[in-house]
Amino acid sequence: MSRALSAALGDERVLDPSRPGLVGVGDEIRVGRSRQRITALGVDGVRLAHIGGPSLSQRAWTNALDRAVARAAELAEAKVVVGAAIVRDGRLLAQQRAYPAATAGLWELPGGRVEPDESDVDAVRRECLEELGVEVTPLDVIGPDVVLRDDLVLRVYGATLDSGEPHPHDHQALAWLTEGTLHTVEWLPADRVLLAAVRTFLRTR
């Protein structure tokens, strides 16, 4: 399942983000608590096998999938804001916003918008250098894309600190948080969605 389709469905798992196309045979699709697996996909349409949760009609599932695929096509063209989950010695770096007033005091991961003709990983490196004055090595994507608005998604990458000591440039403060202290700061809503995935990432570092 593509990242865009996962975001369109609101599914927190991305089954196979590397495979071309939006969906494939074997992918699991969820609508609410109902789960089906794609058993056939071709010119004759989609066949789904019920694998768990309440039963829904085939038409309900097909309509849901059609809507999700259409939404995924839109999200696939969306602009990307990258975030960096920088980990050192089992701790995650978070930064506290200084502005605008509506979000001042809330916490977020370092990052920013991907510029035209810039790759995600290059944007991660650039944003960390600009915001923190440090060089990082981006790792794999953590968790699902988070839809910020119709034409914008947040995508978070794990990262390791290569050189330098982070200092806040445009933020109030920085904090190194452990798995057990992630909940002690008030996160921006979009970042908070990814805390479970970030917690899992911390356990592997």
Dihedral (CA of 168, 84, 164, 160) sign: positive
Residue 17 pLDDT: 35
Residue among 137, 141, 112 nearest 12 (CA): 141
Query: Per residue of the chain (205 residues), what is the pLDDT tens digit?
Result: 455 555 554 543 333 333 334 456 787 877 778 888 888 766 566 677 889 988 877 777 777 767 776 666 666 778 999 999 999 999 999 999 999 999 999 999 999 999 999 999 999 999 999 999 999 999 999 988 888 887 898 999 999 999 889 999 999 999 999 999 999 999 999 999 899 999 999 998 8
β-partners of residue 46 are 41
pLDDT at residue 147, rounded to an integer:
84
Whole-number pLDDT of residue 109: 98
Q: What is the pTM of this model?
A: 0.69
Closest by alpha carbon to 47, among 26, 68, 31?
26
Query: Hunting for tokens 């259409």 — which residue is that?
Result: 70
Residue 148 CB-density burial (10 A; 0-12 exposed, 13-18 middle, 19+ buried): middle
pLDDT value, residue 184: 96
Domains of the chain: 3-76 (no CATH), 79-203 (3.90.79.10)
